[in-house]
Amino acid sequence: MKLVPLGDRVVLKQLIAEETTKSGIVIPGQSKEKPQQAEVIAVGPGGTVDGKEVQMNVSVGQKVIYSKYAGTTVEIDDEEYIIVKQDDILAIVE
Amino acid sequence: MKLVPLGDRVVLKQLIAEETTKSGIVIPGQSKEKPQQAEVIAVGPGGTVDGKEVQMNVSVGQKVIYSKYAGTTVEIDDEEYIIVKQDDILAIVE
Amino acid sequence: MKLVPLGDRVVLKQLIAEETTKSGIVIPGQSKEKPQQAEVIAVGPGGTVDGKEVQMNVSVGQKVIYSKYAGTTVEIDDEEYIIVKQDDILAIVE
Amino acid sequence: MKLVPLGDRVVLKQLIAEETTKSGIVIPGQSKEKPQQAEVIAVGPGGTVDGKEVQMNVSVGQKVIYSKYAGTTVEIDDEEYIIVKQDDILAIVE
Amino acid sequence: MKLVPLGDRVVLKQLIAEETTKSGIVIPGQSKEKPQQAEVIAVGPGGTVDGKEVQMNVSVGQKVIYSKYAGTTVEIDDEEYIIVKQDDILAIVE
Amino acid sequence: MKLVPLGDRVVLKQLIAEETTKSGIVIPGQSKEKPQQAEVIAVGPGGTVDGKEVQMNVSVGQKVIYSKYAGTTVEIDDEEYIIVKQDDILAIVE
Amino acid sequence: MKLVPLGDRVVLKQLIAEETTKSGIVIPGQSKEKPQQAEVIAVGPGGTVDGKEVQMNVSVGQKVIYSKYAGTTVEIDDEEYIIVKQDDILAIVE
């Protein structure tokens, strides 16, 4: 199954921060809070949203910071996604 | 009886998630919470809504994710429907 | 007396659901909650409402679903009516 | 003294419902709640209100239904008036 | 000192209701509540306010009714004034 | 250091009311509440603010009345300033 | 890693006030509250934001005062940044 966002919506997948210990062991970062970084999974077509013309400025695969508490959490095929409006994306992480 | 939505309204029917056990028995998914997936039953004509031109981008039969708590629940002929504004539909599930 | 709604207002009369028992006796449905179905009694002229052009899309005699808690209840000649804005009407029941 | 409303304001005077008993005695209806019927006493000039063009659609002497809790109560020469915006008038009673 | 209001602001001075007893003695009306009548002391230039063109329709010396709780009370030279937006003035008293 | 306000922002410095006793001694007015009078220290360039064209109508050195609770208090070089939007300035005191 | 803000967003880094004691020792100012001064780290492209044309008026390296409680705190590479809308920047400190 695939999520196709409408209007100015963007589908995100939250990034799990990984930490490498000094000895080189990678520990998935579930204990460390880093809640707002995510990867762009799908981008809506933009166009007229609430009477205003919206151009989409993010693309699939980018890492982004999104606004805390924004968006709706959706579970598809046992994977959890967050659907936000593009305006809730604050910055791209390069 | 048939519901004909006005303006940018969309009539939805919530999907009951079914789960198949390993032995192949299908269990209707009432215990598992999956509240936001629904099928599009009827789509309003769009047009000028609250002074803004709205184009409808969903069609009957599509599976969609809609915003939690959005919409009004209506019971017609012992069937329960949800009427939402198109803007409360976040994504199409393909 | 007659109610002539202004602007995008619509006068509704709530429908009392009737239930027919198997033996054919009709019981007025006061115990069963079906609060949002109503008949259109009068329709405002539309036009410019709050600076926006509104076209009226409902007509007298139609059965409609209206938004819960919307509107103002008015009693005229011992009959109770609800006056709503057209935007509070979600769908027509055909 | 006379109240000259500004913009889209309308001056109303609440109607006291009178009840005639079977024996023909008229009892001023203070105990019966009928709070939203009023007579139009004065109508503002309309024009640009909050950046929007407003046309006045009620006239002096009409009986109207106005929105519960809307408006400001004013006492002039021991008479009580209600000043509402035209948009708080829901319907004309004919 | 003089208050020169900006934009669509209007400077008001609340009127103290005077009562004349039958014997002709004038009693300043501090006990009687008549809080919304005021005299216009100064009128702003209007013009573009919050992106909207505002034309001023009240003039110095007029008696007006203003919206309860609206405005800011200011004390200049031991006199108390109320500064309101013109839209908070409901009617002129003639 | 110098504060250069952006957009329709204005930098104010609150005025400390001074009182001269009958014997001519000047007492800085800390006990008397006069919180809304201030001097204009710097004025933003105006221009397009939130999609609306704003023209600045106050100038440095003017005494103004500003809306209670409006603005942000900032401390620069041990001096306290208030930054408000021009719309929070109600009147100029001349 | 680098934060590239979208639309009218601006990335800020809060300034730690330093205090020099009379004997010349510099003490990082963690005890003194000066929360709203920050340096501009990155500036979004502006353009159409929420249907309105926004021009960016701050540049990287400027010291600014921003609105208390505004913005979202983000941690990248163990450095803490604040992402605000340009409208939350009140003034430039020169």
Q: Do G91 and F50 touch (CB under 8 A)?
A: no
DSSP A23-39: TS-EEE-SSS--TTEEE
pLDDT 10s digits, C57-80: 999 999 999 997 789 999 888 899
In whole angstroms, give the CA distance from residue B34 to residue D19.
57
In contact, C56 and C73? CB cutoff 8 Å: no
Complex ipTM above 0.90? no
- CA-nearest residue to D93 within chain C is C3
What is the structure's pLDDT at G16? 76
Phi, psi of E44 (to 5 degrees): -65, 170
Higher pLDDT, E67 or D36: E67
Cβ of residue A91 closer than 8 Å to a chain G Cβ: yes
Specify the DSSP class assigned to residue B57. -
Query: Do A92 and G3 make contact, defined as CB atoms within 8 angstroms?
Result: yes
Burial of C9 (0-12, 13-18, 19+ CB in 10 A): buried
Comparing CA positions, the residue from B5, B84, B3, B4 lying closest to residue B38 is B84
The distance of A75 to chain G (nearest Cα, Å) reads 26
Residue C73 CA to residue C88 CA, distance in Å, equals: 14
Residue B69, pLDDT score = 79
pLDDT digits (tens, 9 = 90+) for B52-70: 999 999 999 999 999 977 8
Instruction: Read off the DSSP letter of residue C88.
Output: G
Residue B31 pLDDT? 41
**Could you tell me which residue, G14 or F24, shows the higher pLDDT?**
G14
Q: What is the DSSP string of chain E?
A: --EEE-TTEEEEEE---EEE-TTS-EEE-SSS--TTEEEEEEE---EEETTEEE-----TT-EEEE-TT-SEEEEETTEEEEEEEGGGEEEEE-
Q: How far is F2 from chain G (nearest CA, A)?
A: 5
Q: What is the mean pLDDT of residues G82-88?
A: 96
Question: Measuring CA to CA, which residue among D48, D38, D39, D42 is closest to residue D9?
Answer: D42
Asked if the Cβ–Cβ distance from F91 to E51 is below 8 Å, we say: no
Cβ pair F91:E74 closer than 8 A: yes
Model pLDDT, residue C59: 98
Chain D partners within 8 Å of E90 (Cβ): 5-6, 9, 72, 74, 83
pLDDT band at A45 (very low <50, low <70, confident <90, very high): very high
Paired strand residues for E80 = E75
E touches D (3+ CB pairs < 8 Å)? yes
**Percent of chain C topping pLDDT 90:** 66
* Among G68, G67, E53, G72, CA closest to D53: E53
Residues of chain F with pLDDT under 50: 29-34
CA dist list (Å): C77 to C37, C44, C81, E50, F44: 22, 21, 10, 46, 61
E1: its two tokens: 């000192």
Chain F residues in contact with G57 by the CB 8 A cut-off are 6-7
Q: What is the mean pLDDT of residues C5-16?
A: 94
Lowest mean per-residue pLDDT among A8-17, B22-31, D32-41, F45-54: B22-31
Give the per-residue pLDDT at F26: 55
Reported as type and span, the H/E element at residue B28 is strand B26-28
Please give the pLDDT value at position A68: 78
Contacts of D12 (CB under 8 A, 6+ apart): D38, D39, D40, D41, D64, D66, D71, D81, D82, D83, D84
Q: Which domains does chain C have, with CATH numbers?
A: 9-93 (2.30.33.40)
pLDDT at position D23: 65
Neighbours of E64 (CB within 10 A): 24
Q: Is B69 exposed, middle or buried (0-12, 13-18, 19+ CB in 10 A)?
A: exposed
pLDDT tens track for E18-74 = 555 566 655 554 444 445 899 999 999 999 999 999 999 999 999 999 997 789 999
Chain E contact set for D75 (CB, 8 A): 34
Tens-digit pLDDT profile for residues B78-91:
899 999 999 999 99
Q: If you average pLDDT over residues B34-46, what whole number do you get?
A: 88
Q: How far apart are CA F44 and CA F40, in angstroms?
A: 11
- Give me the percent of chain A exceeding a pLDDT of 70: 80
